[in-house]
Every structure is written in structure tokens, then in C-alpha cells.
Structure 1
Amino acid sequence: MTPPKTIRAAAIQVEARVADIPWNIEHASRLVDEAVDRGAELVALPEFFTTCIVYDERVFGCSLPPENPALDMLKEKARRHRIHIGGSYLEMRDGDVYNTYVFVEPDGKVHRHDKDLPTMVENAFYVGGDDTGLMETSLGPVGAAVCWETVRTQTVKRLRGKVGLLMTGSHWWSEPGWNWARGYWQRFHAGNGRLMERTPRTFASLIGAPLLHAGHASVIEGGFLVLPGTRLTAPIRTQLMGETQVIDGEGRLLARRRYQEGAGVAVADLQLGAVQPRAESPPRFWIPKFSPMLYFQWYHQNAAGKSAYRWAKRTGRLRTWDDGRNARAAAERL
């Protein structure tokens, strides 16, 4: 492990849009500049900073090739400002799409981690990876973990005691905005918020490393897949839960931005380096105990999303954003 080093760290909260990659990259770029203006040398963007994820068939065309405008933006910021920066987006390689977390160093070196298991409707848009998320960098060993990777014990087993920094981010949904059983959904939203709030601190305590967590604060609309094997949907409108946080190696909160505060930056001085983990991982698959509704959604939406992914791939709808842009341009010329 590397000796302790104190660094100015910033976690960014975005208000991204669905399937608007150019706008979202520019939005993220402005927030990175804000973080740098506040002295940040280490910056975290959230999961899916190039497009929000909901069942919207435009998202099938929102994956990026390995060399892409989002990565170009991160490289340019890292080089110009001499910072380390990370975030995730949909990346297509060899015919499949992954939720790829990239961590870029000031010299342009790029590290990648593919999220291991898509969460619920995310199964419609990408498949899981199989790397450990452990990256050897000039800051020492860094662990990448994306959204619900931070609530699974298999992630703890991969990274516990092995890293001096955790780069995490999420795109954490809330209740679907349905009018029936309104009181139940309000309670669901409150409980979901408490789970999201404590997850970064719990994860840092289990791994034994400081952590940056970047989130989304948008309200998004789209579809909820109703029946696996079909594309039948019900409309939803959901709040993304934010909870952008900077956490030290002891699991203490140093800076925080709630979803109610919208887009912006949480900044704190962070001491890098591994510490003795302060918590033990439970002997089960999930770190927290979920509500019955979350368990139901996990299995139901996983199945529904996987069938949608197979359909999109089979019918040629699964494509990179550049391909989609070029196809539209070609059609306009005809």
C-alpha cells in the first residue's frame, strides 16, 4: 500500500437527460470545471453520466465505442488540469454493451472496469463484466464499484483491504410515481433514500478505504417493463436519489450533496490510503436487507430487461451512438 497522501477530492452530482449524449457531456464538463475551480485534484462523475437509464428505446443507440467523445472530455480535463477523474457510460465492444467505469490519469492512461451485474431495467441495455475493479494507478491501488456493486458482498471480497481509494457512482432510482397505493410508495421512497444515504459509508467501512460517490438528481420519465419476453410497458416518472458524498477511510462523511440540491459538487480534503476495515461483511449475497418490493423488482426487471436486450441485439437496434448519428445523417442526405 502507498503511504497516506491528502488530496482535494470532488464528487459531482449531475442532472442528466435521457438519450441526449452531447448535452450530458457538456453538462458534466461544466461541473468538472467547477470542481477544479474549487481546487479538486481528484474528481468523480456518476454512473451513466452520458445518459440517464429508463426503458426508452432511444437508449439502445446510446452506447459509445471505446474511443469516444465522453472519454475525450475526461482525457482533456485530466491533461489540462493535472487531475485524476472517473465516471461510467455505456460502451460497446465486440458486439456487446457494458457499463464501463473509466478512470483517467493526468498522463492520459485509462483504466476500465465493467460493472459485474446489470441492475433491473439496466439489463435491457448492457451485459455484465468479469474484472475485479482493481486498478493500479499513480495514486496507488484504486477500486472501482458502480451503484449496486456497492451493496453486494462479492464486491467486498474483490476489494477489501486491497485499495487506498474507492471511486464509485450511482444512478439510483426511487418509486415509479404511480397514483395507486400512494402512501405505500411514499414510504418506499423514504426507505430507499435512507438506504442510498448510508450505502457509501457502509461500503467504505467494509473495504477499508476512502470513497468518492457521485450521483444523479434528475427526475426521469419512461417505461416500466411489465412482462418478460415482451416490450409492454407502463409509464413511470421517478426521482434519481443523488447522495453525492465524500467519505474518509473510517466511513465518516466529509461532504454531501442531496438530490434536493440538484446538480453541483461536493468537495473535501481526503487522505488516501488503506485502513483497517471497521465492519465485517455479512454472510449473504446482499450487504443490506432489502424490502420485499425491491427483491421482487430485482428478479422481475432483470428477466424483463434481459429479453429486451436480446431483442434489441437481434434486430440491430443495439448500436453505438456514432453509428446512430451517421445513419441519421445518411438518411437526411437521401
Structure 2
Amino acid sequence: MTNPKSVRAAAIQVEARVADIPWNIEHASRLVDAAVQQGAELVALPEFFTTCIIYDERVFGCSLPPDNPALDMLKDKARRHRIHIGGSYLEMRDGDVYNTYVFVEPDGTVHRHDKDLPTMVENAFYVGGRDAGLMQTTLGPVGAAVCWETVRTQTVKRLRGKVGLLMTGSHWWSEPGWKWPRDYWRRFHEGNGRMMARTPGIFAGLVGAPLLHAGHAGVIEGGLLVLPGSRLAAPMRTQLMGETQIIDGEGNLLQRRRYQEGAGVVTADIVLGPSAPRAETPPRFWIPKFNAMLYAQWYHQNAAGKSAYRWAKRTGRLRTWDGARNAQTPDEAL
């Protein structure tokens, strides 16, 4: 990016449904159209825009093949409106599922990045990838990072000083909705919200590039895996934390949409191109410092999720989506 270019960027916040791929694709499609109507040339959709992720065994059948209707929608929007657009979904290749971020150019060229490490229950539904998330595009080098990739220093090391744009998205849970102990979960929710709100700006500052972050809002219900090696799960109801943001190359927050605002679009003009990183990379695995409870949840839920993935793969439940199950049409007004 030797000649900096200003573009109108849009980040989209969705309210997706668990395991309802047709509804979610149409919901995302309408929001992309709304972004284009606001002049967007560059559009970010969130992680998992085709299905929310919680322990629900219907999700085992929600991965997509490499050629799929979600990608078709993105390619259609890119070509029709001459935009660049990205987002992630579950993609099955060679018998395993990945959390695949796709970035589509106006001519239909597709770039892919597989998230490196599944987060907690996500281990039940996909395995990690090994690419750097560095994509060579007509906009110049673009970095892709998905959800908790943006809180790990290994992602910063892959991309720092190498990209002129960061395309990121998340599906960030909050507390499990249990009534006891109420004060603990209230504090957890508040602290979790602060970490989510700070993460895009901190990550952009460490890498040195403008950033689009797209998120999920809404409340979802499902299970929380209890015992590794089994599928025993406790009921949970959790808030998705939103924080759809646009950050400029100087680290300034240009636009923000909180989860309380629901689905919608934020837009801002950004100048593409690398900038000097504004902070040193922390000398540890995680960028923020977690408390002991969060570390325990990380290791416990990773183990429980991995055993569920092995079970689903062994029993043939891990499969690509096979058609319009429970398809509905979104009827909300944007």
C-alpha cells in the first residue's frame, strides 16, 4: 500500500439464530445491502454469521462445503456492488471442519483464513488451522483475525507491521445466565464487556493498521459442557456482546455499535495502509491478563469440546449442511 487509499468501510452486527443457515444468510444479506446503501466499499460480517455457536448438537450438521450458499451470497454482493467483503463460517474440507474467514474481492477472488485455535466450546465443532491470516489483495496486504485470535500475541506476531487493513469479527459470549451466585455473574458480565470493548483498539494498535470488527448481538440458549469425555451439558442462556467497531490507523474509535442496539450497520471513512505499532507486544501468550476462573474455563471447555468433536466425527454426526432445514425468512425491518 504505497499510495494510501481512503474507503468507506462498514462493520455489521447481526442477531443470528442457532443452526438456521438459510435465515442467517438472508439476514446478513439484507444488512450488507443496508451497508451498500450507506456507501460502503468495504464490508465486514462477523465470525459465524451462518449460525451462532453454543453446545447444540444441531450445529454438528451446520458446516458448509468450500462451494456453498454463504460464499455465493458474498461473491454476489462483491461483484454486483464492486465491494470487498469478509466474514467467517464453519467449512468442512477433507473430513474436518474449520472456522474459515473468507475475504471476497469485487472480481470474485476468494481468500481464506482458518482460525488457529478454537475457543472453549467451539472445539466441539471445528479444529484449528495453520495459515498466518495474511492475504495479498488488490487493496494490499490484509490481515484476518477471528475473535480470540485478537487477544493472543501469536496473532500479533504474524501480522505486526505487515498489513494495511485488519478484518476481524467475533461471536463473544457473556455469562451463562445462571442465577447463583448472582453478584459474581454480574461482575463477570461487566468485566467481560470491558474486555470486549477494548480488544479491537488494542489489537489494531499492536499490529499497526486500521481495523473493522463485526459482532453478534442477541441472546442464545443451549448447553454448557460439564464433563470432558461425555456430552453432559448444563442449560445456559447467554448474551452475545456485540461491540461492532471501526478503528482508524491511529487507533481512534470512529464508530461503535453496542449489543444493546441489536442488529445494524456502522460506517466510517478509513485510510488503508500500515502505521507504526503504538505499543509493544506483551511478553506472554495472552494480550490481556485473565483471572484464574477464566484460565480454568479455557482448559476445561477446550477439553470437553474436543471430546465432543471426536464423538461427532466418529458417529457421522459431523457433516455438511444438507439443505433448507427449518428455513425461515427474516421479517424484521432494518
Q: What is the TM-score with the length of structure 1 in the denominator?
A: 0.96
Q: SS of 1:321's equivalent?
A: coil
What is the rounded CA distance, in whole Å, between the counterparts of 2:209 and 2:297 in structure 1? 31
Task: Give the corresponding residue for 1:68.
Answer: 68
Task: Give the corresponding residue for 2:11.
Answer: 11
What one-letter code is carried by the residue in structure 2 that aligns with 1:214?
A
Query: What is the CA distance between 1:250 and its match in structure 2?
Result: 1.5
Task: Give the corresponding residue for 1:121.
Answer: 121
Matches for 1:1-334 after TM superposition, within 5 Å: 1-322=1-322
Query: What is the CA distance between 1:322 and its match in structure 2?
Result: 2.4
Superposed CA deviations along residues 46-90 of structure 1, whole A, max 9, x for unmatched, are 000000000000000000000000000000000000000000000
Superposed CA deviations along residues 17-37 of structure 1, whole A, max 9, x for unmatched, are 000000000000000000000
Q: SS of 1:222's equivalent?
A: strand
What is the rounded CA distance, in whole Å, between the counterparts of 2:270 and 2:207 in structure 1? 16
Instruction: State the aligned residue count.
Output: 325
Superposed CA deviations along residues 204-261 of structure 1, whole A, max 9, x for unmatched, are 0000000000000020000000000000010000000000000011211000000000
Query: What is the CA distance between 1:307 and its match in structure 2?
Result: 0.1
What is the rounded CA distance, in whole Å, between the counterparts of 2:144 and 2:69 in structure 1? 21
Mind listing any 5+ residue stretches in structure 2 that lack a counterpart? Answer: 326-334
Task: Give the corresponding residue for 2:332.
Answer: none
What is the rounded CA distance, in whole Å, between the counterparts of 1:262 and 1:84 in structure 2? 24
Mind listing any 5+ residue stretches in structure 1 that lack a counterpart? Answer: 326-334
What is the rounded CA distance, in whole Å, between the counterparts of 2:73 and 2:323 in structure 1? 20
Task: Give the corresponding residue for 1:330.
Answer: none
What is the rounded CA distance, in whole Å, between the counterparts of 2:308 and 2:159 in structure 1? 32
- Change in 2 beyond 3 A, CA 1:143/1:320: same
Task: Give the corresponding residue for 2:331.
Answer: none
What is the rounded CA distance, in whole Å, between the counterparts of 1:324 and 1:297 in structure 2? 35
Query: What is the CA distance between 1:296 and its match in structure 2?
Result: 1.1
Superposed CA deviations along residues 164-209 of structure 1, whole A, max 9, x for unmatched, are 0000000000000001101100000000000000000000000000
What is the rounded CA distance, in whole Å, between the counterparts of 2:125 and 2:323 in structure 1? 16
What is the rounded CA distance, in whole Å, between the counterparts of 1:159 and 1:282 in structure 2? 15
Query: What is the CA distance between 1:292 and its match in structure 2?
Result: 1.8
Root mean square deviation, CA, Å: 0.9
Query: What is the CA distance between 1:324 and its match in structure 2?
Result: 9.0
Task: Give the corresponding residue for 1:328.
Answer: none
What is the rounded CA distance, in whole Å, between the counterparts of 2:41 and 2:323 in structure 1? 35
Is residue 61–residue 324 contact of structure 1 (8 Å, CA) maintained in 2? Answer: no
Is residue 21–residue 324 contact of structure 2 (8 Å, CA) maintained in 1? Answer: no
Task: Give the corresponding residue for 2:330.
Answer: none
Q: SS of 2:209's equivalent?
A: coil
Q: Which consecutive segments of 4 or more residues in structure 1 shift more than 2 A?
A: 322-325
Q: Percent of counterpart pairs with the same letter? A: 86
What is the rounded CA distance, in whole Å, between the counterparts of 1:269 and 1:232 in structure 2? 48
What is the rounded CA distance, in whole Å, between the counterparts of 2:2 and 2:172 in structure 1? 32
What one-letter code is carried by the residue in structure 1 that aligns with 2:37?
D
Query: What is the CA distance between 1:293 and its match in structure 2?
Result: 1.8
What one-letter code is carried by the residue in structure 1 that aligns with 2:183?
G
What is the rounded CA distance, in whole Å, between the counterparts of 1:223 and 1:2 in structure 2? 49
Is residue 65–residue 320 contact of structure 2 (8 Å, CA) maintained in 1? Answer: yes
What one-letter code is carried by the residue in structure 1 that aligns with 2:223?
G
Is residue 2–residue 164 contact of structure 1 (8 Å, CA) maintained in 2? Answer: no
What is the rounded CA distance, in whole Å, between the counterparts of 1:167 and 1:155 in structure 2? 13
What is the rounded CA distance, in whole Å, between the counterparts of 1:261 and 1:218 in structure 2? 9
